[in-house]
């Protein structure tokens, strides 16, 4: 009996297989600070139904009639103040690339692992990097939304985009997604270390330390989003690790947008209130941000500092995000290795 053998056309390129991909994904970045780049970025971001849950019939006239005609120039100026001039890119892009490169180095012992990075909004896109990983032979891909606390507007929309990319692929890789790690001891230890190390460089001690998380509309929480609870747990565990009281380490929420009520207390209002009540020295950190970005470098390190001083405060310091520091990379590597179990 003869055996049938499938053969590829002579000019068909070899098919790569047998690899495992790791895709780090952060929120996104404009390609430049100019109005066109900002409008393109904001349009993609603000059209996401996970981000703005209002009906398009109500939201789109506002978005296209007002927001995209007024905000690009304003946001572009804000980005300009914190732009990485050396590389002509946002620091979020700089740090995310560096994180991927360092993870790749740490996993170099696994020759079948390929590490890449993407942005949910802007470039490089999630679909383009999933396709690139698949072409490199990745039959399995771990998608890592870089958000310690889960929110539908962050983690879920990354996962949505990743699975949506599979709809157009004939040979789909198997996909895993990384769950939130808001209460992981390695993460809590890294945050505690970052605080103590930063404060040790100062010649003064803050009376209050604010953990400022990105806010979400209160209606999202009311619908069942676990984000608020996970932020509170991160802060509680951090408080316990440092041995601090609720008065010393407080939780606030920043970056609200639009007319809705968002999670409270608001960071900007709290900073003003503390100064007006006689608090002279504060520090602020952003535990929910894996990398420094517009919301940390401009909104906190610049705007919040100015507001605190204007309201009567004297000493203000912003504690940097974990970024690509040794502790920050220890967290990301720990999570990646844990989630790759059974694949490598």
Strand boundaries in 58-207, DSSP class E: 113-122, 138-145, 174-177
Pair (124, 70) in one structural domain: yes
Q: Is the pLDDT of residue 6 over 50?
A: no
Regarding whether 189 and 149 lie in a shared domain, the answer is no
The answer to whether residues 29 and 168 belong to one domain is: yes
- Number of domains into which the chain is organized: 2
Using the predicted structure, report yes or no on whether residue 10 has a pLDDT greater than 90.
Answer: no
Nearest to 291 by CA among 320, 265, 327, 260: 320
* Cα–Cα dist 230/181, whole Å: 9
In which domain, by residue range, is 228 found? 185-319
- pLDDT tens-digit profile of 17-43? 899 999 999 999 999 999 999 999 999
- Distance between alpha carbon 66 and the CA centroid of its chain, in Å? 27
CA proximity to 139, closest of 20, 283, 302: 20
Pairing between strand 174-177 and 249-254?
unpaired
Confidence at 245, pLDDT banded by 50, 70, 90: very high
Q: Quick one: CA torsion of 90, 95, 98, 100, rounded to 10 degrees?
A: -110
133 with 275, same domain: the answer is no
Are 23 and 171 within one domain? yes
Tens digit of pLDDT for each residue in 253-285? 999 988 899 999 999 999 999 999 999 999 999
Length of the chain: 344
- Measured torsion, CA atoms of residues 157, 319, 246, 271, in degrees rounded to the nearest 10: -90
pLDDT reading at 173 higher than 60: yes
Residue 14 has pLDDT above 80, yes or no: no
Q: Is the pTM of this model over 0.75?
A: yes
- The confidence band for 2, taking pLDDT boundaries of 50, 70 and 90, is very low
Task: Please give the average per-residue pLDDT across 320-335, as a whole number.
Answer: 98
Asked if the model's pLDDT at residue 1 lies above 70, the reply is: no
pLDDT over 80 at 7, yes or no:
no
Q: What's the Cα-to-Cα distance from 61 to each of 54, 69, 260, 311, 339, rounded to whole Å?
A: 12, 12, 17, 37, 42
Instruction: Report yes or no on 1 lying in a domain.
Output: no
State pLDDT tens for residues 42-74: 999 999 999 999 999 999 999 999 999 999 999
Q: Which of 288, 329, 334 is nearest to 26 (CA)?
A: 288
Q: Looking at residues 189-195, what average pLDDT do you find?
A: 98
**Distance, CA of 150 to CA of 109 (rounded, Å):** 31
Q: How far apart are CA 253 and CA 32, in angstroms?
A: 27
Residue 282 and residue 274 in contact, taking contact as beta carbons nearer than 8 Å = yes
CATH classification at residue 59? 3.40.50.1400
> Is the same domain home to 73 and 151?
yes
Specify the pairing of strand 281-285 against strand 249-254: unpaired
In this structure, the answer to whether residues 77 and 218 fall within a common structural domain is no
In a domain, residue 3? The reply is no
């Amino acid at each position: 009996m003869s055996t049938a053998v499938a053969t590829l056309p002579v000019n068909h390129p070899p098919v790569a297989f047998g690899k495992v991909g790791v895709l780090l994904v952060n929120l996104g970045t404009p390609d430049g600070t100019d109005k066109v780049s900002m409008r393109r970025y904001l349009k993609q971001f603000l059209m996401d139904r996970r981000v703005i849950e209002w009906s398009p019939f109500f939201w789109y006239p506002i978005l296209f009639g007002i927001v995209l005609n007024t905000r690009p120039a304003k946001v572009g100026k804000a980005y300009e103040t914190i732009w990485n001039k050396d590389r002509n890119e946002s620091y979020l892009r700089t740090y995310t690339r560096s994180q991927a490169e360092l993870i790749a180095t740490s996993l170099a012992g696994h020759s079948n692992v390929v590490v890449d990075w993407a942005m949910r909004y802007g470039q490089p896109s999630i679909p383009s990097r999933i396709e690139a990983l698949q072409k490199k032979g990745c039959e399995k891909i771990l998608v890592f939304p870089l958000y310690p606390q889960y929110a539908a507007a962050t983690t879920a929309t990354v996962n949505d985009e990743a699975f949506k990319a599979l709809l157009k692929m004939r040979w789909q890789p198997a996909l895993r997604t990384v769950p939130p790690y808001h209460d992981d001891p390695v993460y809590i230890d890294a945050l505690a270390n970052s605080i103590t190390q930063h404060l040790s460089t100062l010649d003064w001690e803050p009376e209050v330390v604010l953990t400022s998380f990105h806010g979400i509309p209160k209606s999202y929480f009311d619908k069942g989003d676990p984000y608020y609870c996970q932020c509170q747990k991160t802060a509680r565990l951090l408080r316990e690790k440092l041995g601090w009281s609720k008065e010393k380490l407080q939780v606030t929420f920043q970056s609200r947008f639009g007319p809705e009520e968002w999670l409270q207390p608001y960071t900007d209002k709290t900073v003003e209130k503390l100064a007006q009540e006689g608090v002279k020295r504060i520090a602020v950190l952003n535990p929910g941000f894996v990398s420094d970005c517009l919301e940390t470098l401009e909104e906190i390190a610049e705007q919040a500092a100015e507001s605190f001083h204007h309201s009567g405060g004297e000493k203000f310091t912003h504690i940097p995000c974990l970024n690509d520091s040794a502790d920050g990379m220890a967290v990301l590597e720990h999570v990646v290795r844990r989630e790759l179990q059974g694949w490598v």
